[in-house]
Amino acid sequence: MSERLVTESVSPELLLTYYKKLLELRLFELKVQELYRNGRLPGFVHLYVGEEAVAVGVCSNLEARDLVFSTHRGHGHALAKGVPSTIVLAELWGKVTGSSGGRGGSMHMYAPEYGFMGTNGIVGAPIPLATGAALSAKMRKKQQVVVCFFGDGAVNSGSFHEAVNMGAVWNLPVVYVCENNLYATEMAFLRATKNTNVASRAAAYGLPGVAVDGQDVVAVHEVASEAVRRARGDGGPTLIECKTYRYVGHHEGDPGTDYRTRDEVQHWKQRDPVKIARKLLLDLGLDENQLQAADQEVERLIDDAVEFAEKSPEPRAESVRDHVF
Amino acid sequence: MSDQGRVINYGDAGVEALREEMRRDPSIVYIGQGIGPRGGNFRQTRGLWKEFGDDRLRDTGICELGATGAAIGAAMAGTRTVVDEVFLDFALEAITQIVQQAANISYMSNGKIKAPVVFRGAMGAVRNAGAHHSHTFYNWFANTPGLKVVLPSNPYDLKGLFKTALRDPGPVALIEHKSLYNAKCVVPEEEYLIPFGEARVVREGKDLTIVAMSRMVDLATKASAVLEAEGVSAEVIDPRTIVPLDRNRITNSIKKTGRLVVIDESPSSCSFAAELLAIAVEDCFDELQVPPQRINSLPVPNPFSPVLENQMIPSVDRIVGEVHKMMKSSRRKT
């Protein structure tokens, strides 16, 4: 794996920034899990633990003006697109300082000021939305790229078929990123579909489709880099399938063990995206002290987010009717 | 509305609104099936493709879910869009995008993201189209916070309301009636806008108030002429937009006449007529001389047989008959 690093796509300096982002996503979600289990956060949360290399590898290719549409498992996408962990956590806490002022929560979190066009409570729904945003980008001739994340559950929905087909025929600047974590809630992908090769479905729409190891941030970065370049150059959409896994249940409260074996979970944990990136950095010559400094930097970031969110005020009850229209 | 000037039909009035607004605002993109070279199933976009081309008149395949979602996503990203569902019935294929995404987006994003999108569709019974092409479920939309609902009943209103919809922060459901496309009236060639939330008094009267939406306005007007000949003076009110609703103009009329009948092409249970009756009871209880009434379509799927469909939907005779009953009784001396 370190051999591919020697390809000029990622320097050690860049890889260190990816590593810190991976760790931020990981520690953020573990903190959310702790707060949620302690009854501090309202609502429901779907955690991204184990899938971090997808968001970081893809978003490392994006510019501030580019747009990301995300899913119900979207905290990681928001952070990877550059939304500060402070306002993401404040939103999960229902605070007025949150990215949606406490009106959205985990699955309805919007930060257009960072190009983050929302998590989404409806599986498949962001695919048409992202396709339309890409149409807008193309019409406005801004060389803006749109990325749409979705899970393996979404690819069996009508939204996927209709939207990817439109994105293809209109040659839109959009990258469709399937995070294939093998389960749609509890439904194993191989029980839900005959063709479990998501990337191969691209051929049905006349698109390039590519599958990649979703636990390897460098591999994801490289594949996404080509797709983003194609989109920005008016070369049309790409379908990327990132093979990944969530270490946790579907949502907090689901142990995730009724439909998955302990062995399977352990197998995937052997290929942990944070550890893989850390090992690559050591192989490239960084020393343990440098990495510990990076770790501490990220830990402080998460502590700051908790302090910010915890101390932030609740929305005023009288504001309940604001922003309906 | 004047009776002097140029007369055009409902379909042309919609085209004129679109042409004026698409010239004024180069960001507007129109998405739907058969709306390009064909000019629309109801001729509702005729001539526009020739002027604005493939980029702005975007024909799609038969994929309302994808097309509607794309129109919303484009709107969220800064492009004003119209998505033509053609038959309102087909919006059901896309209802999750309309209700869950478009209507919620302003609120969910704390007002940071707007979706300036117009959902256009034609509703209602016409020429025995049968159960799959005749629905009138605008009341569902009115029960969805975040969505404005516009029901133009004539060419003049269609032009002015469509132009307003195309400048609204959105989203707006612009629901036409299929049987009105050939209806004609005077429509000024110069620009005008009709604000949302302003009901129109179609006809002034003093004995009872008839509130009617969309094609039912025409039936109410015809019924009021029959009643006039019998010495009953009916005030006919067209809300024009049911979200936002001009509650004051409607309740002021009810307070004046003491009687209300609502004509509504949807089935009565949980209909917009039910909402208007509730408003009458809430705001005008002391002034009502008789219980407010509603005349709706019967609660059956639209039948194919002309005999059965005519039995189902409100008619001038039903309206006149109901008013006769209401005029006989009185809760208090006038």
The pLDDT tens digits of the residues spanning B175-198 come to 999 999 999 999 999 999 999 999
Cα→Cα distances B212→B10, B219, B246, B332, Å: 18, 8, 13, 26
Q: Which of B129, B153, B186 is the last residue of a domain?
A: B186
For residue A46, give the DSSP letter: -
Laid out side by side, the sheet with B234-238 consists of: B200-203, B234-238, B208-212, B260-267, B293-297
Q: How far is B196 from chain A (nearest CA, A)?
A: 13
For the segment B126-143, what is each residue's pLDDT rounded down to a tens digit?
Answer: 989 999 999 999 999 999
Mutation site for B-interface testing, chosen from A65, A120, A325 by largest number of B Cβ within 10 Å: A325
Domain encompassing residue B173: 8-186
Closest residue, chain A, to B60 (C-alpha): A166
CB contact under 8 A, A163 and B111: no
Q: How far is B235 from chain A (nearest CA, A)?
A: 32
User: Residue B91 is part of a domain; what is its CATH number?
Assistant: 3.40.50.970
Q: Which residues, at least 6 apart from A101, have a Cβ–Cβ distance to it below 8 Å? A: A315, B110
Contact criterion met (CB below 8 Å) for A143 and A232: yes
Average pLDDT over residues A79-98: 98
pLDDT the model gives residue A142: 83
B273 vs B212: CA distance, rounded Å: 9
B60 vs B11: CA distance, rounded Å: 21
pLDDT the model gives residue B3: 76
Q: Examine the pLDDT at B10 and tell me if it is beyond 60.
A: yes
Average pLDDT over residues A200-209: 98
User: Residue B247 is part of a domain; what is its CATH number?
Assistant: 3.40.50.920
**Paired tokens of B202:** 């179609």
Q: Which residues, at least 6 apart from B266, have a Cβ–Cβ distance to it below 8 Å? A: B136, B137, B138, B139, B272, B273, B296, B297
Does residue A320 lie within any of the structural domains? no
For the segment A9-68, what is each residue's pLDDT rounded down to a tens digit?
Answer: 789 999 999 999 999 999 999 999 999 999 999 999 999 999 999 999 999 999 999 999
Enumerate the residues of chain B whose CB falls inside 8 A of the CB of residue A320: none
pLDDT the model gives residue B331: 61
Residues B146 and B51 in one domain: yes
pLDDT the model gives residue A5: 45
Long-range contacts of range A137-143, CB-CB < 8 Å, 24 or more positions apart? Answer: A137/A67, A137/A172, A137/A173, A137/B77, A138/A170, A138/A171, A138/A172, A138/A173, A138/A234, A139/B27, A139/B29, A139/B55, A139/B74, A139/B79, A140/B27, A140/B78, A140/B79, A142/A65, A143/A173, A143/A232
Q: Examine the pLDDT at B2 and tell me if it is beyond 80.
A: no
Residues B176 and B207 in one domain: no
CB contact under 8 A, B76 and A117: yes
Identify residues of A whose CB sits under 8 angstroms from chain B CBs: 67, 69, 99-101, 103-104, 108, 110-113, 117-118, 120-122, 125, 127-137, 139-140, 146, 158-159, 161-163, 165-166, 170, 322-325
Beta strands at B234-238 and B200-203: parallel, antiparallel or unpaired: antiparallel
Share of chain A above pLDDT 70, in %: 98
Residues B175 and B238 in one domain: no
Query: Closest by alpha carbon to B126, among B309, B316, B319?
Result: B309
Of A103, A104, A132, the CB nearest to B71: A132
For the segment B241-267, what is each residue's pLDDT rounded down to a tens digit?
Answer: 999 999 999 999 999 999 999 999 999
For the segment B142-154, what is each residue's pLDDT rounded down to a tens digit?
Answer: 999 999 999 999 9
Average pLDDT over residues B298-305: 96
Contact criterion met (CB below 8 Å) for A189 and A152: yes
For the segment B96-128, what is each residue's pLDDT rounded down to a tens digit?
Answer: 999 999 999 999 999 999 999 999 999 999 989
Q: How far is A310 from chain B (nearest CA, A)?
A: 20
CB contact under 8 A, B66 and A122: no
Average pLDDT over residues B205-232: 98
CB contact under 8 A, A132 and B69: yes
Q: How far is B239 from chain A (nearest CA, A)?
A: 20
Share of chain B above pLDDT 90, in %: 96
pLDDT the model gives residue B332: 57
Of A67, A137, A159, the CB nearest to B69: A159
CB contact under 8 A, A128 and B106: no
Does residue A275 lie within any of the structural domains? yes
pLDDT the model gives residue B160: 98
Confidence of residue B329 (pLDDT cuts 50, 70, 90): confident
Q: Examine the pLDDT at B76 and tell me if it is beyond 60.
A: yes
3-state secondary structure of B71: helix
Residues B205 and B181 in one domain: no
Q: Is B64 a catalytic residue?
A: yes
Enumerate the residues of chain A whose CB falls inside 8 A of the CB of residue B109: 100, 103-104, 108, 110, 112, 118, 323
Does residue B193 lie within any of the structural domains? no
Identify residues of B whose CB sits under 8 angstroms from chain A CBs: 27, 29, 55, 58, 60-61, 63, 65-79, 81, 96-97, 100-101, 104-113, 145-146, 148, 169
Q: Examine the pLDDT at B330 and tell me if it is beyond 80.
A: no
Q: Which of B64, B176, B265, B309 does the annotation list as catalytic?
A: B64
Of A103, A121, A134, the CB nearest to B107: A103
Q: What is the pTM of this model?
A: 0.96
User: Residue A183 is part of a domain; what is its CATH number?
Assistant: 3.40.50.970
Does residue A316 lie within any of the structural domains? no
Output the average pLDDT for chain B: 96
Residues B171 and B207 in one domain: no
Residues B127 and B209 in one domain: no
Q: Examine the pLDDT at B212 and tell me if it is beyond 80.
A: yes
| Predicted ipTM of the assembly | 0.95
Enumerate the residues of chain B whose CB falls inside 8 A of the CB of residue A117: 73, 76-77, 113
Of B61, B70, B106, the CB nearest to A323: B106
Q: Which of B136, B158, B186 is the last residue of a domain?
A: B186
Q: Examine the pLDDT at A1 and tell me if it is beyond 70.
A: no
**How many domains does chain B divide into?**
2
A133 vs A128: CA distance, rounded Å: 9
Q: Which of B16, B21, B85, B133 does the annotation list as catalytic?
A: B133
Q: Examine the pLDDT at B20 and tell me if it is beyond 90.
A: yes
Enumerate the residues of chain A whose CB falls inside 8 A of the CB of residue B112: 100, 110-113
Does residue B290 lie within any of the structural domains? yes
Contact criterion met (CB below 8 Å) for B330 and B290: yes
Does residue A322 lie within any of the structural domains? no
Output the average pLDDT for chain A: 95
**Paired tokens of B272:** 């917009």
Of A99, A100, A129, the CB nearest to B73: A129
Confidence of residue B1 (pLDDT cuts 50, 70, 90): low
Does residue B1 lie within any of the structural domains? no
Q: Which residues, at least 6 apart from A203, have a Cβ–Cβ distance to it below 8 Å? A: A209
Tell me whether the omega of the peptide bond preceding residue B244 falls within 30 degrees of 0, making it cis.
Answer: yes
Residues B126 and B269 in one domain: no
Closest residue, chain B, to A132 (C-alpha): B70
Does residue B194 lie within any of the structural domains? no
Share of chain B above pLDDT 70, in %: 98
Residues B179 and B258 in one domain: no
Confidence of residue B4 (pLDDT cuts 50, 70, 90): confident
Domain encompassing residue A112: 2-310
pLDDT the model gives residue B60: 97
Residues B151 and B50 in one domain: yes
pLDDT the model gives residue B224: 98
B328 vs B205: CA distance, rounded Å: 17
**How many domains does chain A divide into?**
1
For the segment A253-275, what is each residue's pLDDT rounded down to a tens digit?
Answer: 998 889 999 999 999 999 999 99
Instruction: Tell me the count of A-B CB pairs closer than 8 A.
Output: 144
CB contact under 8 A, B108 and A108: yes
Q: Which of B156, B186, B216 is the last residue of a domain?
A: B186
Q: Examine the pLDDT at A6 and tell me if it is beyond 50.
A: no
For the segment A138-177, what is each residue's pLDDT rounded down to a tens digit?
Answer: 999 889 999 999 999 999 999 999 999 999 999 999 999 9
Residues B234 and B134 in one domain: no
Mutation site for B-interface testing, chosen from A100, A122, A139, A322 by largest number of B Cβ within 10 Å: A139
Does residue B195 lie within any of the structural domains? no
Contact criterion met (CB below 8 Å) for B183 and B170: no
Does residue A315 lie within any of the structural domains? no
Contact criterion met (CB below 8 Å) for A238 and A230: yes
